[in-house]
Amino acid sequence: MTDLHPRSEDVAATQAEALGRLAAGLAHEIKNPLSTMAINLALLEEDCGRGEQGEPSARDKRVLKRVHTLQREIKRLETIVEDFLRYARGGSVDRAPADLVQTIREVLDFVELEDTRQGIRHHVDLPAGLPLVMLDTGAFKQALLNLCVNARQAMPDGGELIVRAVRTGQQVEISVTDTGVGMDPDAVERCFEVYYSTKKGGTGLGLSTTRRIVEQHNGRIAVLSEKGRGTSFSIVLPLLVEIHGKKEDA
């Protein structure tokens, strides 16, 4: 039977999609004038920097200072627009059977150098012989990286980053725990919201992107945190198991 009356949640989903497309279009339109401004500011910077005798005059120095302020603000706007577009585009993932442990290790290798520099020690506990997981490895690495970067930012004076994966039946739970500043209950409640950020210069898209990627992998993400003590994010993913001779997500 054909349903002539679309359900209200279908209408809402279509409206949200249309709004998302409009917003992405708007963000895209903002990019062009921003790059024109950046180019002209770079030319102005060059003009003022050169000066008559090779040294900028006092007036040129004042102009240069303002040019640099404008350049910083343009960079900030560009980052906001880029992050938004990445989020809006997000769309689909392309999953294939993959080695989760290897994927986690690659992310940790990527962040280790900077973490060490900041006095953050890694403690890693990953199981051997874990069944494969259906992963879009690029997207999943991004999801984990967002958690690791947040953990680093929560430990400006160093600390411990504990990354574990534990198999429970047909699922695997990955946890990323830090001993950083932690969150108050309001932040715990809101941290996955788009644009929720308590950081200077933060866009607040990191965790909402992570959550979306995890859900695109048929997984769930949760957080536990205590102000002043630390934070733990946990992701539960289905393992790839044999169902009637066909491999499927558990």
Ligand X SMILES: Nc1ncnc2c1ncn2[C@@H]1O[C@H](COP(=O)(O)OP(=O)(O)OP(=O)(O)O)[C@@H](O)[C@H]1O
By CB under 5 A, name the binding residues for Mg ion.
150, 206
Q: Do strands 120-125 and 159-168 pair parallel, antiparallel, or not at all (unpaired)?
A: parallel
| The binder of ligand X chosen from 134, 140, 162, 206 (CB under 6 A) | 206
| The binder of ligand X chosen from 48, 104, 111, 178 (CB under 6 A) | 178
Q: At its nearest, how many Å lie between Mg ion and the CB of residue 149?
A: 6
Closest CA to 125 of 170, 161, 158: 161
| Cα–Cα distance, 151 to 155 (Å, whole number) | 7
214 touches ligand X by CB under 6 A: no
Q: At its nearest, how many Å lie between ligand X and the CB of residue 75?
A: 14
Residues 105, 111, 117, 122, CA torsion sign: negative
**Beta-bridge partner residues of 133:** 98
Residue pair 234/174 in contact by the 8 Å Cβ criterion: yes
Q: At its nearest, how many Å lie between ligand X and the CB of residue 93?
A: 19
Stretch that binds ligand X, among 31-39, 47-55, 131-139, 145-153 (CB under 6 A): 145-153
179 touches ligand X by CB under 6 A: no
Closest CA to 131 of 171, 175, 174, 95: 171
Looking at beta carbons only, is 175 or 208 nearer to ligand X? 208
Site residues, ligand X (CB under 6 A)? 146, 150-151, 154, 178, 180-183, 187, 191, 196-199, 202-208, 231
